[in-house]
């Protein structure tokens, strides 16, 4: 709900309040954003100033107490005394860089957000309340529209900005933020998620005491270097208690978020398109719109904040046929065969997959042009008939016939210099004419600022997607931008290229997802190099990382989960030694971690022995039985250190599944407990594990302590015994109320500690894990 009265604007969600007002000077003073308050006199939360502090400036001689440097604002200008991080920077036709936007008017409606060039949040049912506040520059005919949308149930407020140039002159826009959030205090903690290829989403906390902390991308894409999702919190905030803000952008290009502490101990947060390298000519009588920013706050810690974000992303970002549909279990050919694929291999993979209960086979890279490695053929989307003599259709039909769906990999935004497309249209790639180009994975980025290039991609992909019965598409993007230049644009417009690229991409995605509504699209960018809400507005899921190692993944998935629901994070079980880390982890742990994401395999199944295939078959069966809870339940993070603890709870709270995973074993530390989260406190649940038979190989030659005959580690006898005998594994079976499972925790069986092995012992070495099922009785 939004209340606008007497120059005060109060935006309310179920549990939060956001308040600002128009000051006497006409600026918008931000007054409050936090847990819901009933308010009274608005004066209680307005800035009081009786004098202007030394060396700060009076905005006007008419009010000697008022300085723009020491007041919380909704949208700061430039050059009138507020020397903090600006919201907007521009150059007028006369060369002046000063802008001073003051209140003009507002409108209030219930309606969905609408941007012409970018995706927005939306509501399919109750429309969000929409407040538009129009500001006007005092001296130039330029308007700034601040748009606010209130999603009550998710406790989310979104914002975007539109600059309208009504003057008769062009202006150079250097920076325009989507949101600004001023706090009257400092020492907030900014949490960012940084990384690189195969180690996305490292969590970093920086206390902002003074100066400025920036989280941004200059890669041309949202990037694995710095995900656009960030959090602000108090130092005392924990997973379940305290104030936590979640902030994101619906944008897939260069983004920028900064938290800056002022001379007077106030913190300013801004977020929007990265101004570095950006410059947009807003022609006379034209406008410029920013991406939409997403904001939420909870007083129930990071988990409370995440629940808001998850609900918002599931309901108001993800759209289309697959929004609420259970996603299939897939087998992807990449780690099974890399580029070395052919019809026979893929068919064999599909047959093995079918035997395990897998539902979809994905043919990854290598199926087109002369694509035998990563040096050629991107751009030439014609099937390689040496590998697939019956074409994509021939293969897809064969796979469909055995009862599996078929999916395909594409990387439409790219071109190899060694391709027919590039030979024909060298100017269709971004790059500075007649200058050497910096290469990444031997490929270049197509110039998506050009309509003819967008149309080429739309046509080429339409041909691929309609060439066979294609149920799923993995849309990859495997390099960052360099030599950013479009040969189609004028010199003065080159600062627009990176943003125009994103706009072009969104047009392509919009067209293709509309044309092929049944296809399940999965975003990918060398894993998580473009994991953001812009992509999720078209594709309901994204491949989170090329690193499939369970020990890495358990933390990465925890960290993705701060801002994104698990129904958007795809996760596969792969072979060991793991191809990225060479680490060996047990198959059940790889499953126990991946199963909480949108789940699949990436594995050469035909190479596996019967016992392993049986284990995989059982895994798929288990997943299918609980798929709805895994994909659409509410996910809660528990501990994330040497022990990792997760709980996912079905919507009606009648079922929950928990994970306990350990990185390194510490002997003689028997007090392992599992704490559930999110259960109904009063409901009685039956708590069980699926006992995991333990191979005697785990004990090596220690087994000789109890064995009647000598068993050589790695010897024939050990192999024979292992084939016919396993220790049964501990059984955990309890009935307990939700509050007991959550607040007392479950005291698990004693873990192996160098001595005393029997049927009750929980054998829990390095990288061990357990799943616990909780069912309402
Ligand atoms: C990227 C993706 C991988 C795989 C390869 C194919 O690295 O992240 O999953 O599809 O490309 O070249």
Cα–Cα distances in angstroms (integers) from residue 169 to residues 95, 139, 165, 166, 523, in the given order? 11, 13, 8, 8, 41
**Atom 8 of ligand 1 has which residue's CA nearest to it?**
526
Cα(334) to centroid of ligand 1, in Å? 7
Mean pLDDT estimate for the chain: 97
306 CA → ligand 1 middle, Å: 29
Kindly state the average pLDDT of the residues 344-362: 98
Could you tell me the distance, in angstroms and rounded to a whole number, from the CA of residue 466 to the centre of ligand 1?
22
Q: Does residue 365 line the site of ligand 1, with CB under 6 A?
A: yes
pLDDT band at 181 (very low <50, low <70, confident <90, very high): very high
Is 70 exceeded by the pLDDT of residue 582? yes
Instruction: Check if the beta carbon of residue 402 is closer than 8 Å to that of residue 350.
Output: yes
**To test ligand 1's pocket by mutation, which of 367, 412, 478, 527 has the most ligand atoms within 8 angstroms of CB?**
478
What's the N-to-C CA distance of the chain in angstroms? Answer: 39
- Best mutation site among 364, 377, 475, 529 for ligand 1 pocket (most ligand atoms within 8 Å of CB): 364
pLDDT of residue 712: 95
Average pLDDT over residues 710-718: 94
What is the pLDDT at residue 245?
99
Q: Which of 346, 341, 349 is nearest to 365 (CA)?
A: 341
Answer whether residue 495 shows pLDDT above 90.
Answer: yes
Mean pLDDT of 715-734: 93
Query: Is the CB of 478 within 6 Å of ligand 1?
Result: yes
**What confidence tier does 691 reach under pLDDT thresholds 50, 70, 90?**
confident
| Strand positions, DSSP E, 64-196 | 88-91, 101-110, 129-137, 142-151, 156-165, 171-183, 188-196
| Interatomic CA distance for residues 72 and 85, integer angstroms | 12
Cα of 364 vs centre of ligand 1, distance in Å, is 8
SS3 call for 165: strand
Is 200 a pocket residue for ligand 1 (Cβ < 6 Å)?
Answer: no
Using CB atoms within 10 Å of the CB of residue 651, give its burial: 0 to 12 exposed, 13 to 18 middle, 19+ buried: exposed
Q: What is residue 99's three-state secondary structure?
A: strand
Nearest to 515 by CA among 473, 560, 578: 473
Determine if ligand 1 sits within 6 Å of the CB of residue 334: yes
Is residue 478 within 8 A of residue 411, CB to CB? The reply is: yes
Is it the case that residue 227 has pLDDT exceeding 70? yes
**Is the CB of residue 570 below 6 angstroms from any atom belonging to ligand 1?**
no
Closest ligand 1 atom number to CA of residue 338: 6
Q: Where are the alpha helices (DSSP H) in 371-425?
A: 391-401, 420-424
- What band does 671 get if pLDDT is binned at 50, 70 and 90? low
Q: Which of 137, 546, 549, 588 is catalytic?
A: 546
Question: Around Cβ 766, how many Cβ atoms within 10 Å?
Answer: 14
C-alpha 356/C-alpha 351 separation (Å) is 9
- Given a cut of 80, whether residue 755 has pLDDT beyond it is no
The confidence score (pLDDT) of residue 692 equals 84
Among 445, 453, 113, residue whose Cα is nearest residue 250: 113
- Is 476 a catalytic site residue? yes
pLDDT of residue 674: 97
CA-closest residue to ligand 1 atom 4: 334
- Mean pLDDT throughout 485-514? 98
Say how many CA atoms lie within 13 Å of 56 toward its Cβ. Answer: 19
User: What residue has token string 């606010």?
Assistant: 148
Q: Residue 757 pLDDT > 90, yes or no?
A: no
CA-nearest residue for atom 3, ligand 1, is 526
574 lines ligand 1 (CB under 6 A): no
The answer to whether 459 is a known catalytic residue is no
Q: What is the pLDDT of residue 707?
A: 87
Q: Give the whole-number percent of the chain exceeding pLDDT 70.
A: 100
Task: With CA atoms as reference, report the closest residue to 443 among 373, 540, 363.
Answer: 373
Three-state SS for 419?
Answer: coil
Q: What residues pair up with 296 in beta bridges, in sequence order?
A: 156, 246
In short, whether 411's Cβ falls inside 6 Å of ligand 1 is no
CB atoms within 10 A of CB 373: 13
Residue 670 has pLDDT above 90, yes or no: no
Is ligand 1 within 6 A of the CB of residue 292?
no
Checking if the pLDDT of 756 tops 80, the result is no
Instruction: Give the contacts of 647 (CB within 8 A, at least 6 positions apart).
Output: 635, 636, 638, 656, 657, 658, 659, 676, 677, 678, 679
Average pLDDT score over residue span 637-642: 95
Q: What pLDDT does 18 receive?
A: 98
Which among 195, 197, 334 is the best mutation to test ligand 1's pocket, defined by most ligand atoms within 8 Å of the CB? Answer: 334
Angle 165-168-169 from CA coordinates, rounded to 5°: 75
Question: Residue 648: CB within 6 Å of ligand 1?
Answer: no
Q: How far is the CA of 408 from the centre of ligand 1 (A)?
A: 12
Question: If you measure from the C-alpha of residue 365 to the centroid of ligand 1, how many angstroms do you get, rounded to a whole number?
Answer: 7
What is the per-residue pLDDT across 448-466, written as a single tens digit (0 to 9) for each? 999 999 999 999 999 999 9
| Residue from 669, 653, 655 nearest 748 by CA | 669
Contact assessment for residue 272 and residue 178, using Cβ atoms and an 8 Å cutoff: yes
Q: Name the active-site residue from 476, 532, 549, 588.
A: 476
* Mean pLDDT confidence for 659-668: 93
Partners of 649 in the beta sheet? 634, 656
Cα(337) to centroid of ligand 1, in Å?
12
Pocket test for ligand 1, best of 524, 525, 572 (most atoms within 8 A of CB): 524
Please tell me the residue having the least CA distance from ligand 1 atom 6. Answer: 365
Q: How far is the CA of 526 from the centre of ligand 1 (A)?
A: 5
Average pLDDT on 497-524 reads 98
Is 384's C-beta closer than 6 angstroms to any atom of ligand 1?
A: no
Reported as half-sphere exposure (CB side, CA atoms, 13 A), residue 442 has a value of 12
Ligand 1 atom index nearest CA of 526: 8
Residue nearest to atom 11 of ligand 1 (CA): 526
Q: Which two tokens stand for residue 770?
A: 């357990």
Does residue 490 register a pLDDT over 80? Answer: yes
For ligand 1, is residue 596 a contact (CB within 6 Å)?
Answer: no
Residue 9, ligand 1, Cβ within 6 A: no
**Distance between CA atoms of 544 and 526, rounded to whole angstroms?**
9
């Amino acid at each position: 709900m939004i209340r606008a009265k007497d120059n005060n604007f109060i935006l309310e969600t179920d549990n939060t309040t956001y308040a600002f007002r128009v000051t006497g000077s006409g600026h918008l003073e931000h007054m409050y954003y936090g847990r819901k308050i009933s308010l009274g006199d608005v004066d209680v939360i307005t800035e009081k100033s009786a004098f202007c502090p030394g060396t700060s400036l009076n905005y006007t001689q008419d009010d000697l107490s008022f300085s723009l440097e020491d007041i919380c604002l909704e949208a700061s200008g430039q050059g009138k005394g507020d020397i903090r991080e600006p919201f907007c920077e521009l150059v007028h036709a006369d060369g002046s860089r000063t802008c001073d936007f003051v209140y003009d008017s507002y409108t209030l409606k219930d309606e969905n957000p609408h941007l012409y060039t970018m995706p927005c949040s939306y509501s399919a049912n109750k429309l969000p309340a929409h407040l538009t506040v129009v500001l006007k520059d005092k001296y130039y005919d330029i308007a700034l529209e601040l748009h606010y949308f209130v999603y009550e149930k998710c406790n989310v407020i979104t914002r975007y900005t539109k600059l309208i140039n009504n003057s008769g002159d062009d202006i150079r826009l250097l920076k325009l933020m989507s949101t600004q959030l001023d706090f009257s205090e400092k020492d907030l903690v900014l949490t960012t998620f940084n990384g690189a290829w195969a180690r996305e989403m490292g969590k970093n906390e920086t206390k902002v005491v003074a100066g400025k902390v920036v989280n941004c991308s200059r890669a041309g894409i949202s990037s694995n270097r710095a995900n656009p999702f960030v959090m602000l919190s108090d130092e005392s905030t924990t997973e379940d208690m305290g104030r936590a803000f979640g902030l994101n952008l619906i944008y897939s290009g260069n983004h920028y978020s900064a938290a800056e502490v002022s001379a007077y101990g106030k913190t300013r947060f801004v977020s929007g398109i990265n101004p570095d390298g950006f410059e947009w000519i807003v022609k006379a009588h034209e406008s410029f719109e920013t991406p939409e920013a997403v904001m939420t706050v909870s007083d129930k810690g990071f988990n409370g904040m995440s629940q808001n974000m998850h609900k918002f992303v599931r309901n108001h970002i993800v759209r289309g046929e697959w929004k609420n549909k259970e996603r299939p279990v897939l087998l992807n050919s990449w780690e099974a065969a890399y580029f070395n694929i052919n019809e026979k291999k893929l068919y064999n993979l599909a047959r093995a997959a079918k035997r395990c209960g897998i539902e979809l086979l994905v043919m990854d890279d290598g199926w087109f042009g002369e694509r035998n490695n990563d040096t050629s053929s991107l751009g030439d989307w014609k099937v390689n008939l040496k590998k697939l003599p019956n074409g994509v259709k021939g293969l897809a039909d064969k796979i469909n016939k055995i009862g599996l769906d078929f999916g395909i990999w594409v990387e439409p935004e790219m071109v190899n210099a060694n391709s027919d497309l590039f030979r024909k249209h060298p100017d269709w790639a971004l790059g500075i004419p007649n200058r050497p180009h910096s290469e990444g994975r031997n490929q270049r980025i197509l110039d998506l600022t050009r309509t003819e290039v967008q149309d080429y991609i739309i046509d080429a992909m339409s041909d691929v997607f309609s060439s066979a019965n294609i149920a799923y598409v993995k849309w990859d993007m495997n390099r960052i931008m360099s030599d950013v230049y479009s040969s189609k644009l004028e010199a003065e417009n080159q600062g627009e290229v990176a943003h125009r690229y994103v706009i072009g991409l969104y047009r392509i995605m919009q067209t293709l997802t509309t044309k092929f509504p049944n296809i399940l699209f999965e975003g990918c960018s060398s894993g998580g190099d473009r994991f953001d809400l812009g992509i999720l507005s078209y594709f309901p899921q994204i491949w989170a990382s090329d690193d499939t190692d369970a020990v890495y993944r358990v933390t990465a998935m925890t960290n993705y989960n701060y801002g994104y629901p698990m129904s958007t994070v795809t996760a596969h079980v792969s072979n060991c030694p793991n191809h990225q880390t060479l680490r060996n982890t047990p198959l059940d742990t790889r499953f126990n971690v991946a199963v909480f994401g949108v789940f699949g395999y990436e594995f050469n199944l035909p190479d596996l022995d019967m016992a392993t295939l049986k284990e995989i078959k059982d895994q798929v069966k288990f997943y299918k039985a609980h798929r709805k809870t895994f994909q659409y339940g509410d996910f809660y993070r528990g501990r994330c250190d040497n022990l990792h603890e997760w709980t996912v709870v079905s919507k009606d709270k009648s079922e929950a599944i928990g994970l306990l995973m350990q990185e390194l074993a510490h002997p003689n530390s028997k007090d392992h407990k599992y704490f559930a989260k999110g259960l109904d406190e009063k409901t009685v649940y039956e708590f069980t594990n699926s006992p995991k038979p333990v191979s005697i190989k785990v004990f090596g030659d220690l087994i000789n302590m109890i064995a009647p005959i000598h068993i050589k580690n790695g010897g024939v006898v050990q192999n024979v015994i292992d084939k016919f005998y396993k220790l049964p594994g501990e059984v955990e079976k309890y009935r307990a109320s939700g509050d007991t499972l959550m607040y007392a925790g479950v005291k698990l069986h004693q873990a192996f500690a160098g001595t005393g092995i029997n049927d009750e012992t929980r054998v829990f070495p390095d990288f061990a894990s357990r799943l616990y099922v909780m069912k309402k009785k």
